[in-house]
Amino acid sequence: MTALQEVIQVPPTGKKVRRRRPSQSAHRWVLLAVVIALLVAWEAVSRLEWVNPMFVSRPTDIFAAIPDVLGDEKAVDALTTTGTSIWWAIVYAVIIGIVGGYLLGSVQVLRDAFYGPVNFIIGIPKSIFIPIFLLAFGINTQTAIYYGAFSGIFYVMINVVGGLDLVEDRHMMVARAYGASWWYRVRDIVLPASTPGVFAGIWYGIKNGLQGVLIFELFISVGGLGSLIKTYTNRLEIDRVFVVVLGIAVISIVLGEIWSAIERRLSRWRPSSTANADTGV
Amino acid sequence: MALQAKNLEVTYRTAGGRSVPALTDINLEIADREFVTIIGPSGCGKSTLLKCFGGLLSPSRGEVTVNGQPVTEPDPNRAAFVFQDYTLLPWKNVLDNAAVGLHFAGRSKAEGRAKGQEMLELVGLDEFAKQFPRELSGGMQQRVAVARAMAMDPDILLMDEPFGALDEQTRQKLGSEMGRILTETERSVVMVTHSLDEAVFWADRIIVLSARPGRIAKEIEVKAPRPRSLSFIGTDEFALIRAELFRLLEVPSAMAEASQ
C-alpha cells in the first residue's frame, strides 16, 4: 500500500473481496424448508379432503401432470403463441415507452399536458379497455400484442420521466464548462444519468406487457396460455391449470433474472450496483 | 497578462422582476503563472465572478478577456473549471473522466486516453484509471477533477472551492501536493475559497470581496515563494496575513474601511 492510499484509505486496485456472509446459505435453507413445508401442508389438506381435490389439485398430481401438458400439442402451440405475443408486446411497450418518456420528460409543454393523463391511466385497471381494443383491432392474437403493449407503455414512460429528473444540474454544468455540444450532453450526460429510471421502466414494461397478454388471452379466446388455462378449467383439469400457471411463473422469473443480470452489468458505476429495479413479480 | 476584467458588473433579476446586484465595479488583472485566491463573505459573488471568468455567465456590464480575447462562452482550452463537489461523471471510469473534455472536443479516444493517463500520472492516480469515481475517496476524486481540467492544457485554471467538501486533514495534505503540481505546471490559477488558511497558503495574491454586491475590498500580496510546504503555516507572514483577512471578514467596519 502506498503512502497516499494509507492516508486516504482506499482499496489499492479496486479488486473486491467477495465473501459470502455466513447467514446467507442458512437463509436459503430456511427458504427451501418453508417451501417444502407449504407443499407438504397443501398435500395433506387435499388428501384429508379439507378442501375439494376437484378444485384444488394436490402437488403430487400437478407434478405428475407436467409430462402430459408438455406432450400436449395444444399446450406447445399455446406456449409459442403466448411467448411470441409477450415478446412483441414488450418490444412495443419498451420502445414507445422510452421515446414517449424522453419526450414527456424533456418537453415542458408535453409534460404539462400529458403527465396527469398518463398517471391517471396507470391508476385504473387496464382491462376496462379490452372492449375498445376488440372493436379497434378485432379478435386475434395481434390484438393481444397491442393490449399487452398498452398495459406496459405507461409504466415505461413514467419511469423514464423519473429517470430524467435524476439528471443533475452539476453534471450539465460540467458538460457546458467543458464545451460539450448538444449531442454529447444527451449521449454522455442525460442518457447515462437517466438509466436507473429507464431500467426500472423496462422492467415494468416486461412485467405489465406479460400480464396484459395473459389477461387478454384469458378474457378473449385467441389462443395462447391464457386461453389454455380457460380450456383446462372448463374441463376441470385443475392439475393441468396449475402446470400452466407454474410455467408462466417460471417464464416470469426467468425474464426477471435475465433482466436483473443485464441491469447489474450496466449499473456497475452506481453507488450500489445491487440497487436495481424492483423485479418482484 | 493572462486574464483581465474591466468594469465588471453582474445583476440578477428575481422572479418578481426586481434587480439584485451581485457584483459591481470589478477591475482585475491576473498575470501569467500567477495564483490568485478570492475570498469574501458568504453570498458576496465569488463563484459568480469565477463563472464570468470562464464564460459560464455573461456579465450585465463590463468585459472579461483572456490573452486579449473577449470571453463570451466557455472554452476549456482557455479556462478550465474545477468545481467544488468533484462533479465527476459517475458512469465513466477515472480515465474517461480525466479525458472527458477532450472527448467533448471531438478528439480521438486514443488521444484522449493518452492525455488522460498522463494527467492521472501527474496527480498520482494512474493506477486507479479503470475504477469508477464511487470507488475513490473525496480527495482522490478532486485530484481527478484537476487532471480533467489540466488535460485541456488551459491558459487558466478556475477552481471553485475545490477542497470545500473535504475534511481538514485531507485538505491540508492534498493542498500541499496540489500546490506543488500546479506550480510545476506553470498555469495561472484563480481559486475561490472560504477558508482563510487556503487563501493565504496557495496565493501569490489574495482578492478580498466585500459583502453583496461584491466589490474588491482589498488585494493582499503573499511574498513567500511557491510551492510552499506545510511549514509555511507556522511562519509570521502566514499569521499576519491570516489575521488581516480575519479582521476584514469578521469585523464589518474593517471591510467598509478597506472598500473606501
Give yes or no for A7 touching B (CB within 8 A). Answer: yes
**Closest Cβ–Cβ partner in A11, A179, A188 for B75:** A179
Give yes or no for B76 touching A (CB within 8 A). Answer: yes
Structural domain that includes position A219:
63-266
Highest mean pLDDT among A42-51, A90-99, B20-29, B199-208: A90-99
B153 assigned to some structural domain: no
What pLDDT was estimated at residue A13?
Answer: 42
Cell numbers for B66: 483572456
Per the structure, the count of domains in chain B is 1
CA distances to A180, B9, B14 from B59, rounded to whole Å, are 22, 6, 16
Q: How confident is the model at residue B258 (pLDDT cuts 50, 70, 90)?
A: low
Q: What is the CATH number of the domain that holds B193?
A: 3.40.50.300
> Residues 146-175, chain A: which have Cβ within 8 Å of B?
170-171, 173-175
Give yes or no for A125 touching B (CB within 8 A). Answer: no
- CB-CB neighbors (< 8 A) of B90 in chain A: 269-271
Mean pLDDT score, B38-50: 89
A273 assigned to some structural domain: no
> Residues 174-203, chain A: which have Cβ within 8 Å of B?
174-181, 184, 188-189, 192-193, 195
Task: Give B219-246 pLDDT, tens digit per residue.
Answer: 999 998 887 888 888 899 999 999 999 9
What pLDDT was estimated at residue A94?
Answer: 94
A123 assigned to some structural domain: yes
B79 CB-contact burial (10 Å; exposed 0-12 / middle 13-18 / buried 19+)? buried
A10 assigned to some structural domain: no
Alpha-carbon torsion, ordered A247, A251, A254, A260, to 10 deg: -140
Per the structure, the count of domains in chain A is 1
- Cβ of B134 and A177 within 8 Å? no
Cell numbers for B1: 497578462
Query: How do the residues of chain B divide into helix, strand and coil, expressed in percent and rounded to 5?
Result: 40, 25, 35
B107 assigned to some structural domain: no
Q: What is the CATH number of the domain that holds A185?
A: 1.10.3720.10
Which of A78-82, B28-32, B83-87, B157-161 is predicted least confidently? B83-87
What pLDDT was estimated at residue B81?
Answer: 93
What pLDDT was estimated at residue B241?
Answer: 93
Pairs across A and B, CB distance < 8 A: 84
In terms of residues, how long is chain B?
A: 260
Mean pLDDT score, A79-89: 93
Average pLDDT across chain A, whole number: 84
Task: Give A248-259 pLDDT, tens digit per residue.
Answer: 888 888 888 888
Task: Give A98-118 pLDDT, tens digit per residue.
Answer: 999 999 988 889 988 888 888
pLDDT at B101 > cutoff 90: yes
Task: Give B73-86 pLDDT, tens digit per residue.
Answer: 999 999 999 998 77
Interface pTM, i.e. ipTM: 0.86
What pLDDT was estimated at residue B33?
Answer: 87
pLDDT at A12 > cutoff 50: no
- Cβ of B81 and A177 within 8 Å? yes
B157 CB-contact burial (10 Å; exposed 0-12 / middle 13-18 / buried 19+)? buried
Q: Are B225 and B202 in contact (CB under 8 A)?
A: no
B158 CB-contact burial (10 Å; exposed 0-12 / middle 13-18 / buried 19+)? buried
Highest mean pLDDT among B167-176, B181-190, B230-239, B250-259: B230-239
**Closest Cβ–Cβ partner in B128, B132, B139 for A268:** B132
Q: How confident is the model at residue B52 (pLDDT cuts 50, 70, 90)?
A: very high
Nearest CA in chain B to A4: B124
Mean pLDDT score, A225-242: 89
The more confident residue out of B260 and A258 is: A258
Task: Give A151-199 pLDDT, tens digit per residue.
Answer: 999 999 999 999 999 899 999 999 999 999 999 999 999 999 998 889 8
Give yes or no for B69 touching A (CB within 8 A). Answer: no
B186 assigned to some structural domain: yes
Nearest CA in chain A to B145: A174
Structural domain that includes position B59:
3-78+179-259
A28 assigned to some structural domain: no
Q: Are B209 and B216 in contact (CB under 8 A)?
A: yes
**Closest Cβ–Cβ partner in A10, A12, A176 for B140:** A10
Average pLDDT across chain B, whole number: 87
B173 assigned to some structural domain: no
- CB-CB neighbors (< 8 A) of A176 in chain B: 56, 74
Highest mean pLDDT among A48-52, B12-16, B22-26, B88-92: B88-92
Give yes or no for B83 touching A (CB within 8 A). Answer: yes
B227 preceded by a cis bond (ω within 30 of 0): yes
Give yes or no for B172 touching A (CB within 8 A). Answer: no
pTM above threshold 0.90: no
Q: Are B254 and B243 in contact (CB under 8 A)?
A: no
CA distances to A167, A177, B29, B50 from B104, rounded to whole Å, are 18, 10, 30, 22
- Cβ of B85 and A170 within 8 Å? yes
pLDDT at B206 > cutoff 90: yes
**What is the distance between the alpha carbons of residues B133 and B233, in angstroms, rounded to a whole number?**
31
pLDDT at B256 > cutoff 70: no
